[in-house]
Amino acid sequence: MNGSKTLIVTGGSRGIGAATARLAAAAGFDVGITYVANAAAAADVVRDIESLGRKAVAVACDTAKPDQISAAFKAFDQHFGGLDGFFNNAGVLGLAGRFVDIPAAQVVEMLAVNTAGAFFAAQEAVRRMSTRSGGRGGSIVNMSSIAAKLGGAGEATDYAFSKGGIDTLTVGLAKELATEGVRVNAVRPGLIYTDLHDASGIAGRVDKYKHNVPMQRGGSVDEVAEAVVWLLSDKSSYVTGVLMDVAGGRGL
């Protein structure tokens, strides 16, 4: 990668977000990450990025709150002065349950973080990246899920519902921004070994369901990160509007 490019990763202190932040730094990006509460984990990611000779900063931000999203992006402006890539990653998973038993508070939080929060964060990124707004173009990768395709029946319809909105947002933005220098794609991970599953209340969730995956295994956060960083890079320069399944064949 020629020159220094900048990337923001929401939810970058753990799991797929942290793996992507580290891999992107190795590919030449300076990286800003957001986190909700685990400042120590965020600091570890920052140190790893800086050890690669890249700039890094972590900013506390609850993406369920639009004012905090705006403040976080302004903080990144002070550190980087421009934006080339955005991984719209922050998300939550609720307690597993049948559709009629999912509590209203869980659905409201799910949509506030996974859907509305991602929408508002993308707005902030586009304002900085679009050539129409004086930006230098770049790439946005949204975090969806294979659940958006499968529906989450009997367990996580709220999560699937929230990620279906991400798929729609991805296609709409890809079309709208195609002449403004910004490519927009999404990754749809399947069963990935990450602590996000802990919130479901299902012990060993990946191992419990991996027999439903054609490849008969769960995926790693690094495997998803590789797809994200490729979509962020110039190597995917003619790719936009794609919903990329990273799911071992699940959903085929």
User: Catalytic residues, which ones?
Assistant: 159
Cα–Cα dist 56/43, whole Å: 10
Determine how β-strand 182-189 pairs with β-strand 243-246: parallel
For 82-144, where are the alpha helices, taking DSSP H only?
Answer: 104-110, 118-129
Closest to 139 in 3D by CA, of 208, 211, 37, 231: 231
Half-sphere exposure of 250 (CA within 13 A, CB side): 26
233 contact partners, CB below 8 Å, separation of at least 6:
1, 27, 139
Strands 56-60 and 182-189: unpaired
Residue 155: what residue type? E
Tell me how far the alpha carbon of residue 151 is from its chain's centroid.
Answer: 19
